[in-house]
Chains A and B, each alone.
Chain A
Amino acid sequence: MIVRYLLAALVAGLFSGVLMTAAQEARVVPLILHAEEFEGGDEAAPATEGSTPSTDGAAATHEHSSLGAVVLDVAAYLSPVSVAYAHDAEGHEDGGIMFGMSRFSGTLLANLVTGAGFALLLAGFSLVSGHPITVANGALWGAAGWLAVHMLPAIGLPPELPGFPAADLTQRQIWWVAAVVLSAAGLYLLFLKPGIVAKIAGVVLIAAPQVYGAPQPSDISSAVPAVLGAEFAVAALATTLFFWIVLGLSLGFANEKIAKAA
């Protein structure tokens, strides 16, 4: 029986991941590609650091502030292709797309994994809290997942385009994970726990990461046009909302068809 619940989540997640890929290709990926035209040499930095371990190379790429503009220019000059553009893995010792897949295949694979992951997290949350996800309430579960994972964290860390200025990656990831966990706990208290004390505690939990504040870059200048950033932020939030509503509904459907059909 336990396996059936996990299987239902996997089916819903993979299905949502496929639909999300279509939505992304239509609304989001064109903006990413457009932004990369303005990104300059930033992405090419690892090409000069082939001898360093891959994690160091990746970290160095991301610390825009610590790398001088000269280094970036040299890196751009030396590298014929940026890592993010790389359609084939060969020639990139540190990086490149897994199994030599195309960029689209990599995105599809990542969406399938991410979809399955979020589906399992949503199903796990529902099972542990004892509130089943059905077709009737699936869209609301999905909307709550979107609030916790995307909308509320985006208040502090809006979806970034390649080439956008940003604070230290690790700091942002820690804040992001904390914001997701606190927002999810807060939404649970707000929506699923009766009583005024639970509601107030929920609001406090949701507000806490925002009051603490997300790590922000010291220099916000960017070569990427602001209009692209605005379009991207809306497109990213809209497509993830679509993803979560599909996920909630399909998880409700899969729960009723697979998990309880034993």
Chain B
Amino acid sequence: MAVSNTSSITLSASDRLVAGVLALLLGGFLVFGAGLANSAVLHDTAHDTRHSYGFPCH
């Protein structure tokens, strides 16, 4: 596997999967809230960010 060349990898396969899935869920939640959530307050706060990142907006 590609991971074999990095001797400093210390996570077991299952821990790595748990960390990865946690990161994906948390990251998806944050990006959804800042970029896609249909809330007027969130939209106005993140307005320029949403446009800059090319999130569908307006």
Contact = CB atoms under 8 A, between A and B. Distances in A.
Interface residues of B, number: 52
Given A6-B26, A61-B58, A106-B46, A160 B51 contact: yes
B23 A123 contact: yes
A133 to B, nearest CB: 10
Interface string A150-189: 1001100111111010100110110111000000000000
Given A6-B22, A24-B49, A124-B23, A157 B56 contact: yes
Interface string A236-254: 1101100000000000000
B11 A1 contact: yes
Nearest to B38: A55
- Report whether over half of chain A's contact residues are helix, strand or loop; otherwise say mixed: helix
A26 B17 CA distance: 39
Contacts of B6: 132, 134
Given A114-B49, A120-B24, A127-B17, A95 B30 contact: no
Nearest to A104: B48
A192 B53 CA distance: 26
B22 to A, nearest CB: 7
A95 B46 contact: no
Given A83-B44, A173-B56, A161 B20 contact: no
- The 7 A-B residue pairs whose C-beta atoms are closest, nearest first, are A120-B27, A127-B20, A117-B30, A124-B23, A124-B24, A110-B46, A128-B20
